Structure 1
Amino acid sequence: MTTMFHPPAAQAFWLGDAAAPMLAHYHPAQHNSKLSRRCGVVLCAPFGHEYMVSYLSLRMLAARLSAAGFDVLSFDYQNTGDAADISSAQIAAWQDNIRTAAAWLREQAQVQHLCLAGLRFGALLAASVSADCRADGLLLCAPVISGRAYARELQVLRNMGLPEEVLATMSAEELTGYTFPQETRSAMAALDLKKMAVPACPVLLLSRDDIEGQEAALAAQWQQQHDAVSFSAVPGYQAMMQVDAHSSVVPHAMWQHCTDWLSSQFPEIHAATTAPKLTASANEAQWLQSAIAVHEQIVHFDGMEGVLSLPQEPDTRKPAVILCNIGANHRTGNHRLYVKLARALIQQGFTVLRFDKSGIGYSRATAAGNHNDVHAADGVADIRAAMDFLEQQGYQEFVLGGLCSGAYFAYSTSLADKRICGLMLMNQLVYVWNPEETIEQRRQTSIKSSSFYVKALRDPATWKRLFSGDIHFGLIFSKLTGRILKRLAAIAHKLTENWLPVPFLLSPEARHLRAFCALGKHVLMVMDAGDASVDLMTEKFGRHAALLRRSSRFDMRILRGADHTFTPLDAQQKVISYLTKQLQQRFGDSAA
């Protein structure tokens, strides 16, 4: 959870080719006088997981630069974030995306100078097109030096932390939830900062502080040929690049150092200009994706930002679908799961809103002034505000969906709002959140599913780890014992109600979902077989949710070979296929 200043508003719009647009944010320069730097900065994001965890930090860098008088443009490359998908060569497309962003800043913001700023792989991409963009400055933060080494690193990381049964479902051309074909790997391997011509413009190289990298050696190599190359080792990278977005810390000192360097290179000497005003049409885009029509709008309500996906013929008689943030990840969801799900659902005639609740992405801070506060109490009010917004568009009923904390907020909102007619709960790990408990504390005391440990007992490596002290046996034993007792209680409830219906013996969660379904509403659950959410479901609703299965309005799917965030592309497709089919059957044109 991060508390910070409130950044000036950015203008979101669709950028580039209308046939494959990118979602961008323009941060106009904030002028403190009649002078202007007349300098634009294009922010080039990293790839994959690094993009997700640094999203808020890059937004704060853009806000800091904007406050210092720079016009800043950030954007999602094609095939990433909220942008359209393309089938052409990915690396070449991303390089062209940077050129497009640079051209927009020159033409629309009327900047005379242009700087490219990149993080990790975004830095390597920025350097590779700096001459094409006629860049006047280059800011490279923890840059990937060798594309070949980076591709190998990504493939090694792909195999770490995932069970064998999950890896078995993944093809060689996917990488932690993203497509990573041979063509992309080859094009990535062809990029190497040490083999590129030394940029002719001033350069600032910032090193990473988690491991010893090659940034200093690269700076020394370039300084031999160009005296305008600076090197810095300001800490902040490691704190930003965490395992999860919620624990990522904005590197304020590092961003201030970058701002100071750019300010020294581009002082205020030009007459100020008027920032471009984007037309309303810039918020809307339509394109064909694999011969399928996609229509999306950028929307704002109550200080929050979202993307509304619309079917070709919107029907307000059908419920609108709202997707709730996964942890502190912004609205695209892990591995773009929400983007893919939304674009699949519009083909079935559903309107879908994926938005960022307060404190996430480009939405306002929480009422307490925080960002990345995953379980902030504001979440329920934020979702209700989203429903209010869609109600103004004519929709009367809503299906809420989410993964992990997104499922928690979907469920929690169903306790407070009668407009909800359906729930899609994916790998839900908590039904009641203790505000005095942190995510880190909960993670330290959590364990995997019971089935995971049953399988692990057959593996000799497990016993080796146990005797070496690598496994916290006491915690696991205590947790599993508690699960068994709760399972026995659920079985007793099931047996008891066969001859003596006593609803108060049920868990509060089971009582609520039973009443929810009895009102004609629907509940869908999706879980990975090895996830702890399976045991929680069993504790609350009995084995295979037996306490809920008397209703045809309840359905559950347990997948094998996935993980908590459904990383394998095959698992993602199964989740999307299951949910779209179920919603179509229950709320589609032919639904009874």
Structure 2
Amino acid sequence: MATQQYPSKDILYTPQAFWFGDVASPMLGWYHPARVRDAGGSRQCGVVLCPPFGHEYMVSYLAYKHLAMHLAKAGFDVCFFDYNNSGDAADAEGDRVALWQKNISQAATQLRQLAGIEHIALFGLRLGGLLAGSVAAAIDARALLLMAPVISGRAYAREMLVLRSMSSLQAEVDPDRTIDPNHVQTDDELTGYEFTAATGSSLGKLDLSKLPAPAMPVFVQARDDISGQESKLVQAWHHHDHALHLSELPGYAAMMCEDAHDTVVPTAIWQEMQAWLGRYFPLNEVSSRDLPITNPVANIVFGHVVVEEELVELEGMSGIVSRQAGANIKALPTVILCNIGANHRVGNHRLYVTLARNLASHGFHVLRFDKSGIGYSKTTPDDKENDVHAASSVDDLSSAMYFMQGKYHSPSFVLAGLCSGAYMAYLSALRDERVSGLVLMNQLTYRWREGDTIEARKKATIKSTHFYVHALAKGDTWKRVLKGQVDFRQIGGNLLRRTGKRLRTQWQLLTTYLMHNNLFLGQVARNFKNLEGRGTELLMIYETSDTAVDVMTEQFGRHAKLLGQSERICLKFFRGADHTFTPRWSQLALVDFISKHLLHRFSHRQQDQTVTAPIAALQRFDAAEHIAKPAAADVAK
């Protein structure tokens, strides 16, 4: 009875996902209503959280969510959103910088309407700080919070160009092959994200230090990894009559790490920001209020097709279902995309967003969702976040399949994932016969033991043997050797272990051939043979220089010979990309191939037609061959 009369505060104040903005190019936002019971009232102020760009957006996503939760618990209404052409939002044409500035204004307007408040504060990290500062006066913001803000857009654009020129992707391409210049990193991309010369030019026109000093309280958080420019910004703005606070608390570097799995939420900084902002917006008593009904469905134009995307929640996990209006769900299996490491459902470089919409445009229903502990989903059963290999992940995938069966009547499922997402898809397929297909991209492990850690795996990981063989012919390799920059002990030890495993695999292959018995295969190979025998379509995709190639070879032999000849098993190799398919040409080629392959395999299944795509017809996808052949021929090889 007590529970019914006094429901959980978490239920009353759960963040709500919603679509907003232009109908032709909607954005996704998360509304965190002020938790008036926790705070003792409402601040009558909303905070719009403006995200940074590219990789910085991915690794700071969890920290942004926690900042929103801190502010909501203190009585602020909060909106965290994705700009157009980023995250889950739709793509839109036009000048990116002007578009993102407009997006911030739209988010502020939307938050005012949702929360019924007038005052707005803006928070921005890195590029988000520059954008927030550039529009603060135009949207009549009453406070500005900047964390390690980009001060000069021109300097930031130069920094991005330097970062692009330092990329080793093109240098790692096989030197024996001629690479088509259309299929390497271009001048219009940066670490897998579109960053054109026009965007750099537009950013060059923005400089916080040259803007009029904001007529509002300002909080500036300095970075703690390198000497930033925050103190110079404070000096440039010191003459205005409003409070300006410079904080030097540590926490920035630990948050902005290389991998989202390693990010540390800067709780102390968030608490300081919350306390500082609270001084300017005191609590007001308010009566209880109902949460607004937000729009769960958006129509997004993808190519020449309109894809409907619906926000869903399944047992405390958040997701988006992409489908084409009028598509027959029983004609094709539903595709479920499994998280890449600790990255939320959009995937590295928005790979999953592009893949989901492309598949939907071909008639598939696609669910991209965050398992427990990732993004806005609930924590794992042991109350952890960013637990990449949590045992509960398999249960989460099972729940996702039951959800899609109940709501959309999905007949069967294809599970797709990259790296750890591939591992979780593989484990789920072993347990669940509803899985009729697997798409495994650069799978690095087939067995995760209790006590294993990602850190230990990273230290023990080297590139593929193929990579090192070709590296010996490069002059730069020997220069690094002479400078002592090559760890021969680690590389040599791993190569010796690989050689031993390959010899064992060759023995298994010979014994299996002579004895005509699969009992001599290793457990993982037997698992794959059982999946194939069950009728599961297996598509395994690798980048040629990635460690995943050697891991696969250790389990199945060269070119997966231990798995035998089967039309249901297909290997695909990409050359010139990397583990997460960073170059944009490789992303587009990967998405195109997966969509056509699944359509080819499952549309033929529906029509009961015989298909011949044996594993012996091994597919190589080189940069020089990218989309050079007709699509149908490429799929059928």
Cα–Cα, structure 1 residues 38 and 344, in superposed 2: closer, same or farther, change >3 Å? Answer: same
SS at match of 2:120: strand
Q: CA RMSD in A?
A: 1.7
C-alpha separation in 2, matches of 1:124 and 1:293: 34
Residue equivalent to 1:178: 193
Is the contact between residue 214 and residue 240 of structure 2 (CA under 8 Å) also seen in structure 1?
A: no
From 278, 301, 326, give the equivalent of 2:293: 278
| Residue-by-residue CA offset, 1:231-285 (whole Å, 9 max, x unaligned) | 1111111010000000000000000001001101111136457354114xx1111
Aligned pairs, how many?
586
C-alpha separation in 1, matches of 2:608 and 2:92: 34
SS at match of 1:415: helix
C-alpha separation in 2, matches of 1:590 and 1:244: 44
C-alpha separation in 1, matches of 2:24 and 2:565: 48
Normalising by structure 2, we get a TM-score of: 0.89
- Which residue type is aligned with residue 351 of structure 1? H
1:521 aligns with 2:536: yes
Is the contact between residue 317 and residue 372 of structure 2 (CA under 8 Å) also seen in structure 1?
A: yes
1:364 aligns with 2:378: yes
Is the contact between residue 215 and residue 242 of structure 2 (CA under 8 Å) also seen in structure 1?
A: no
Residue equivalent to 2:320: 307
Unmatched tracts of structure 1, length 5 or more: none
- Which residue type is aligned with residue 55 of structure 1? Y
Residue equivalent to 1:230: 245
1:114 aligns with 2:129: no
C-alpha separation in 2, matches of 1:87 and 1:166: 33
- Which residue type is aligned with residue 162 of structure 1? S
- Which residue type is aligned with residue 345 of structure 2? R
Residue equivalent to 1:385: 399
Identity in percent: 48
Q: 1:230: how far off?
A: 1.4
C-alpha separation in 2, matches of 1:243 and 1:35: 39
Q: 1:452: how far off?
A: 0.8
SS at match of 1:73: strand
- Which residue type is aligned with residue 23 of structure 2? A
Residue equivalent to 2:630: none
Q: 1:102: how far off?
A: 0.5
C-alpha separation in 1, matches of 2:361 and 2:242: 56
| Residue-by-residue CA offset, 1:343-391 (whole Å, 9 max, x unaligned) | 1101111000000000000000011111011111111111111011011
| Higher RCO (C-alpha 8 Å, min separation 6) | 1
C-alpha separation in 1, matches of 2:28 and 2:580: 24
1:373 aligns with 2:387: yes
Q: 1:591: how far off?
A: 6.3
1:471 aligns with 2:486: yes
Counterparts of 1:200-349 in structure 2, within 5 Å, are: 200-269=215-284, 271-272=286-287, 274-279=289-294, 282-317=295-330, 318-349=332-363
Residue equivalent to 2:202: 187
| Residue-by-residue CA offset, 1:269-307 (whole Å, 9 max, x unaligned) | 36457354114xx11111323432111001001110001
- Which residue type is aligned with residue 81 of structure 1? G
| Residue-by-residue CA offset, 1:400-438 (whole Å, 9 max, x unaligned) | 000000001001111111110100000000010123121
C-alpha separation in 2, matches of 1:508 and 1:109: 56
Is the contact between residue 77 and residue 94 of structure 1 (CA under 8 Å) also seen in structure 2?
A: yes
Is the contact between residue 166 and residue 568 of structure 1 (CA under 8 Å) also seen in structure 2?
A: no
From 137, 140, 144, give the equivalent of 1:138: 144
From 66, 69, 74, give the equivalent of 2:72: 66
Residue equivalent to 2:25: 20
Cα–Cα, structure 1 residues 445 and 34, in superposed 2: closer, same or farther, change >3 Å? Answer: closer
Is the contact between residue 356 and residue 362 of structure 1 (CA under 8 Å) also seen in structure 2?
A: yes
SS at match of 1:470: coil
SS at match of 2:515: coil
Residue equivalent to 1:405: 420
C-alpha separation in 1, matches of 2:171 and 2:354: 24
C-alpha separation in 1, matches of 2:352 and 2:62: 18
Is the contact between residue 549 and residue 555 of structure 1 (CA under 8 Å) also seen in structure 2?
A: no
| Residue-by-residue CA offset, 1:103-137 (whole Å, 9 max, x unaligned) | 11222211131101111100110111111110000
Is the contact between residue 305 and residue 355 of structure 1 (CA under 8 Å) also seen in structure 2?
A: yes
Q: 1:68: how far off?
A: 0.2
Q: 1:142: how far off?
A: 0.8
Residue equivalent to 1:544: 559
Q: 1:491: how far off?
A: 2.3
Q: 1:228: how far off?
A: 1.7
SS at match of 1:43: strand
Unmatched tracts of structure 2, length 5 or more: 1-8, 174-180, 610-637
Residue equivalent to 2:444: 429
Is the contact between residue 403 and residue 425 of structure 1 (CA under 8 Å) also seen in structure 2?
A: yes
Is the contact between residue 309 and residue 351 of structure 1 (CA under 8 Å) also seen in structure 2?
A: yes
| Residue-by-residue CA offset, 1:552-589 (whole Å, 9 max, x unaligned) | 10001111000000000111111111111110011126
C-alpha separation in 2, matches of 1:335 and 1:405: 16
Is the contact between residue 29 and residue 67 of structure 1 (CA under 8 Å) also seen in structure 2?
A: yes
Residue equivalent to 1:96: 102
C-alpha separation in 2, matches of 1:374 and 1:241: 18
Residue equivalent to 2:52: 46
- Which residue type is aligned with residue 401 of structure 1? A
Residue equivalent to 2:35: 30
Residue equivalent to 2:627: none
Counterparts of 1:445-524 in structure 2, within 5 Å, are: 445-524=460-539
- Which residue type is aligned with residue 431 of structure 1? Y
Cα–Cα, structure 1 residues 166 and 44, in superposed 2: closer, same or farther, change >3 Å? Answer: farther
Cα–Cα, structure 1 residues 521 and 269, in superposed 2: closer, same or farther, change >3 Å? Answer: closer
Cα–Cα, structure 1 residues 213 and 272, in superposed 2: closer, same or farther, change >3 Å? Answer: farther
C-alpha separation in 2, matches of 1:219 and 1:549: 67
C-alpha separation in 1, matches of 2:29 and 2:292: 14
SS at match of 1:452: helix
